[in-house]
């Protein structure tokens, strides 16, 4: 398949691994920000193939994982009301709230519907005029444009039974928080390719200059990831801190101007709590005043009280790259995909889920590289 098979070529992967190992004069610490990249790195054994030259740590690149506990609890409360139909992407359903999950609430009779697009939720509002339809809007800048279009469409249709529970988050502000931390260990970032298809790569220029940290935009296939790591290592070896786009087939410097215009029309940046991390300044989006009539938080009274995370769950440390998932005492014991303590164990992009799935296969040191890249 064009644009896929050539980025899984085992010979090119071997050559890139060899080049990285010869280029790195020391062990460099690089963080991938995207959960999809985390899964790719582990699935293809890249973390172990490079472990003597590159220390890969995993960042807060899973929007499902960082959706605040109070937002999930409020979504469940809304779904349990007889006059409300809550719609959501499927990967939110198993994420634990403080007392249950959307999946278990649905099994108990709550009105929860899976949608593949926010526009599906708008259509549900059209065909269910006697019921309020709430879309649980999560995700990075990648999914925010579609949510903005849904609000615009609901406005054109003059729908009074459609609203958002907005929990969109922004990537760059949390990278700022990480880079400015006194405990920061990150020497280079692999930026999330899917986010950059919307935002572009230019938005990272000031960040890279201010913190003197290379930012390399990369994709998700093994060749993509290795090209991104190689570019990052080369910059670190030269003492450079530049923004480089190693995913040009999908990302342009200025991004998707139409998508960004839709976001800017409907949303504005705001301080946002990130699950396990805390308040991230300007770390999320909220509806602008002129669209506030579509805000579920304004339309429906909130009765749930803020709850605390499980004291045993170290999801925040995992999301900030302070520990690997396997360093949590609960990993694979009291915390599993079937009974997760935190979102990173159950989300399709969660680091804990990646370690549970791929590390449980045992170490891959010494495995033939052709076998790794073809997995």
| pLDDT for residue 1 | 60
Cα gap 40→44, rounded to integer Å: 6
| pLDDT for residue 173 | 97
| pLDDT for residue 175 | 96
Cα gap 78→86, rounded to integer Å: 7
Cα gap 229→282, rounded to integer Å: 28
Provide the angle, in degrees to the nearest 10, between the axes of the packed helices 144-156 and 257-266: 60
Pure H helices in the chain: 10-23, 35-43, 46-49, 63-66, 69-79, 102-107, 118-127, 144-156, 171-180, 193-199, 205-211, 222-238, 257-266, 296-299, 315-319, 351-358, 369-373
Tokens at 103, concatenated: 């999946």
| pLDDT for residue 371 | 47
- The answer to whether 67 and 42 are in contact (CB under 8 A) is no
> 3-class DSSP state for residue 364?
coil
Domains of the chain plus CATH, in order, are 5-63+185-245 (3.40.50.11750)
| Terminal-residue alpha carbon distance, the chain | 16
| pLDDT for residue 348 | 86
| pLDDT for residue 2 | 67
Q: Kindly give the parts of the chain with pLDDT less than 50.
A: 361-371, 374-375
- The answer to whether 232 and 30 are in contact (CB under 8 A) is yes
**CA-CA distances (angstroms) from residue 330 to 42, 58, 250, 276, 321?**
20, 18, 38, 16, 17
> 3-class DSSP state for residue 60?
coil
Say what the pTM is: 0.92
Q: Dihedral of CA 110/114/119/125: which sign?
A: negative
- Segment 61-88, tens digit of pLDDT: 899 999 999 999 999 999 999 999 999 9
């Amino acid at each position: 398949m064009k644009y896929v098979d050539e980025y899984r070529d085992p010979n090119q992967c071997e050559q890139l691994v060899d080049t990285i190992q010869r280029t790195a004069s020391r062990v460099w610490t690089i963080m991938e920000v995207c959960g999809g990249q985390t899964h790719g790195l582990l699935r293809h054994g890249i973390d172990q193939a490079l472990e003597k030259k590159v220390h890969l740590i995993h960042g807060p690149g899973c929007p499902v994982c960082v959706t605040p506990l109070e937002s999930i609890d409020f979504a469940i409360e809304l779904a349990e009301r007889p006059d409300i139909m809550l719609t959501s992407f499927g990967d939110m359903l198993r994420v634990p709230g403080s007392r249950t999950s959307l999946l278990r609430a649905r099994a108990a009779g709550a009105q929860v519907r899976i949608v593949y697009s926010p526009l599906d939720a708008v259509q549900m509002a059209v065909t269910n005029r006697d019921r309020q339809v709430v879309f649980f809007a999560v995700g990075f800048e990648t999914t925010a444009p579609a949510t903005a279009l849904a609000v615009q469409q609901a406005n054109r249709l003059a729908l009074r039974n459609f609203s958002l529970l907005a929990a969109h988050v922004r990537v760059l502000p949390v990278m700022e928080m990480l880079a400015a931390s006194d405990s920061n260990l990150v020497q280079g970032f692999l930026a999330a390719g899917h986010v950059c298809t919307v935002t572009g790569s230019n938005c990272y220029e000031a960040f890279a200059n201010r913190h003197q940290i290379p930012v390399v935009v990369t994709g998700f296939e093994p060749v993509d990831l290795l090209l991104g790591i190689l570019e990052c290592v080369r910059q670190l070896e030269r003492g450079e801190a530049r923004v480089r786009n190693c995913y040009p087939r999908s990302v342009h410097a200025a991004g998707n101007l139409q998508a960004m215009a839709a976001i800017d029309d409907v949303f504005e940046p705001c301080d946002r709590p990130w699950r396990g991390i805390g308040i991230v300044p300007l770390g999320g989006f909220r509806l602008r005043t002129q669209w506030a009539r579509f805000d579920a938080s304004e339309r429906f009274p909130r009765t749930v009280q803020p709850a605390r995370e499980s004291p045993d769950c170290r999801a925040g440390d995992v999301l900030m790259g302070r520990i690997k998932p396997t360093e949590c005492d609960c990993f694979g014991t009291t915390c599993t995909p079937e009974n997760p303590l935190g979102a990173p164990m159950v989300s399709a992009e969660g680091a804990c889920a990646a370690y549970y799935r791929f590390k449980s296969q045992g170490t891959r040191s010494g495995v033939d590289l052709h076998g790794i890249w073809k997995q």
